Amino acid sequence: MADPTHLRQLALAAARTVAPTLREKAGRTPAEDTKSTLTDMVTAADRWSEETLVNYLLSQRPNDGVLGEEGASVTGTSGVRWIIDPIDGTTNFMYGLTGYTVSIAAEVDGVLVAGVIVDPATGDEFAAALGQGATRNDQKITVRPAPDLAQALLATGFGYQPERRSEQAEALVGILPQVRDIRRFGGAAYDLASVACGRVDGYFESELNLWDMAAGLVLVAEAGGVVTNLEGDFPQQDFVLATTAELHPELIKLLRSVKYL
């Protein structure tokens, strides 16, 4: 089996190859195309970042597989697959806002074993490997001690389809009065890293893809948090709830009560 610590270091090295350029291009790169809707945008920088990351990783481990948001798909033979979001939070990146990140996870025989999230705007480097804990700039991080639900600061995001956004807004009407507040940073990976280092008490979002959350799932779990879908299973796609063990059942109950899907 590939060593999770080694895979974590490779992912971090790969992210460092693109982070300085992305920081320079942030706020100066227009949309090149759209995907699922007019608000689901992609830039030349997304495609450049993905190509650069894939080339680096496969130069180090040529038999690995790859799944990338912008279309990279390689069927490997080693049992290792890299799951890449070259710019998570493209809208923030286009507008020169913080909250965009480079997200890389390593999966071995279908199990997520390493995750790296790098924030080009601030230079923060989040990294985790299975059984090795989670770090921010090489310093150990843990989730924030759980407050009461009424004092919980949560993060969330919204789907791209207008009708889905309307449904999520209705659900927030029921959620907001029962918690401290809600933050919208703009990227799933950034939100998951924020849970892992204690910037927020929890994060929930639906309509996610594996590349949006793979690295963050490893980070939160290794930082002592809990990551599940609404059924309490480990998430693979669509919905994720990341929080502390103490808050988890209360948040599941709250999200179900407002019919958040």
Listed in order, the ranges of the chain carrying CATH 3.40.190.80 are 149-257
Listed in order, the ranges of the chain carrying CATH 3.30.540.10 are 4-141
Burial group, residue 169, by CB count within 10 angstroms (0-12, 13-18, 19+): exposed
pLDDT of 230-254, one tens digit each?
Answer: 888 888 777 899 999 999 999 999 9
Q: In this predicted structure, what is the pLDDT of residue 25?
A: 94
Taking domain 149-257, whether its CATH number is 3.40.190.80 is answered by yes
Supply 181's token pair: 């507040």
pLDDT of 124-166, one tens digit each?
Answer: 999 999 999 999 999 999 999 989 999 999 999 988 788 888 9
Distance spanning both ends of the chain, measured CA to CA? 37
pLDDT of 29-48, one tens digit each?
Answer: 877 665 556 555 678 899 99
Q: What is the mean pLDDT of residues 168-196?
A: 95
What global pTM score does this model have?
Answer: 0.94
Cα–Cα dist 116/110, whole Å: 17
Supply 238's token pair: 């669509």
pLDDT of 67-101, one tens digit each?
Answer: 999 999 999 999 999 999 999 999 999 999 999 99
Q: Tell me which fold the domain 4-141 belongs to.
A: Fructose-1,6-Bisphosphatase; Chain A, domain 1 (3.30.540)
Laid out side by side, the sheet with 181-183 consists of 181-183, 153-156, 202-208, 238-243, 226-228
Cα–Cα dist 195/88, whole Å: 16
pLDDT of 191-217, one tens digit each?
Answer: 999 999 999 999 999 989 999 999 999
Burial group, residue 254, by CB count within 10 angstroms (0-12, 13-18, 19+): buried
Q: In this predicted structure, what is the pLDDT of residue 253?
A: 95
Q: In this predicted structure, what is the pLDDT of residue 100?
A: 97
Question: Within the chain, where are the H helices?
Answer: 4-25, 44-60, 90-95, 162-175, 188-196, 210-222, 248-257
Integer angstrom CA distances of residue 97 from 114, 115, 166, 168, 189? 27, 23, 24, 23, 15
Helix H or strand E segment including 125: strand 125-129
